[in-house]
Amino acid sequence: MNPFHYAKSFFSNDYLPQQLTWELGLLLLSLVAVMAGLVLMRRAFGKPRRSSKGAPPPPGVALVERYEIGARLWHFGVFGLLLALWISGAAFYSPGIIPAVPLLGVSWLFVHLAFGLLFMVGIVVHAVKAGLIDLRSMLFDRHDWHELLASTRYYLGRPYELPKLGKYGVWNKVFHVALILLALIMIVSGIMLSLDTLGWAVIDQNWHRQQRLLHDLGSYGFLALVAAHVFWQLLKKRSQLKAMVTGTIAADTFGSNHDWDRWKPHVVSQTAKAGKVDHGEKTD
């Protein structure tokens, strides 16, 4: 399989890579499918279990906040933006594959640029908000190393015991790092291509070609990451999946998967006999 579409250079007789092929995207998706198959095969012999160690929620806590409303809206919003960017990008990646935009003759290019701008603004706002409010929970710490080793032992069929999590597990943090890198690739390459396309700057042809290849790679990378993310989310228990809609999880679900000493979420509701609890701290 050749991953590139070639075209003759305007300045030479050489045929150079101009685009990544659809087949490369399908290859990445097939690798996700292989990963999913291996995970399901391992789980057929026993689902992963977590350690009994780790602090439970304070007595009387009934519900805690897993995802605040802004995080949930961003989660679904960014999926919609990516879908719009894939559709509009495909329209001029492969002319004719997508019908014309039924919006007063506006070209798919300008639609793509508009959604790209929304994506960049959303990324900046989300990054600033996460940095101010939730940065610590996304940073790697010494507990992640133990989880990484334990999960590796689990998939190798060796004795293991998964530690309880903070807000995010180590693989979730790795996933977010991959998202950040791909977003940077897409934003930088997208800006470079836009400056040239709109006539705001003169870009060297070879540099333009390289940015286009990077943009294609980022698109396929996002496609594979989203597919993998959906698969891992579907593996969660129903009570955990509901949290993406309700924003909350019950205290027993929290106690089974998370360590209160590592993550003290906002307490949404308490039982009638509970004392006052504020973000994990109980007072009389």
The pLDDT-based confidence of 153 (bands split at 50, 70, 90) is very high
The pLDDT-based confidence of 91 (bands split at 50, 70, 90) is confident
Residues 6+ apart with CB under 8 A from 17: 4, 5, 6, 209, 213
The pLDDT-based confidence of 129 (bands split at 50, 70, 90) is confident
In the predicted model, is pLDDT for residue 281 greater than 50?
A: no
Backbone angles phi, psi at 4, to 5 degrees: -120, 150
Q: How far apart, in Å, do the first and last CA atoms of the chain sit?
A: 68
For the whole model, what pTM was predicted? 0.86
Rounded CA gap, 283 and 241, in Å?
Answer: 31
In the predicted model, is pLDDT for residue 272 greater than 90?
A: no
Tokens standing for residue 201? 């700057």
Q: Identify the structural domains of the chain with CATH numbers, from first to last.
A: 4-56+69-236 (1.20.950.20)
Mean of pLDDT values over 106-112:
87
In the predicted model, is pLDDT for residue 282 greater than 50?
A: no
Question: How far is the CA of 197 from the CAs of 103, 205, 240, 271, in angstroms?
Answer: 21, 12, 45, 60
Rounded CA gap, 135 and 68, in Å?
Answer: 15
Mean of pLDDT values over 225-250:
91
Q: What percent of the chain has pLDDT above 70?
A: 93
DSSP string, 112-136: HHHHHHHHHHHHHHHHHHHHHHSHH
State the chain's mean pLDDT as an integer.
Answer: 88
In the predicted model, is pLDDT for residue 273 greater than 70?
A: no
Backbone angles phi, psi at 234, to 5 degrees: -70, -15
The pLDDT-based confidence of 28 (bands split at 50, 70, 90) is very high
> Can you point out the beta strands (E) in 149-258?
248-250
Range scoring the smallest mean pLDDT among 8-17, 25-34, 61-70: 8-17
**CA angle, 200 then 203 then 209, to 5°:** 130
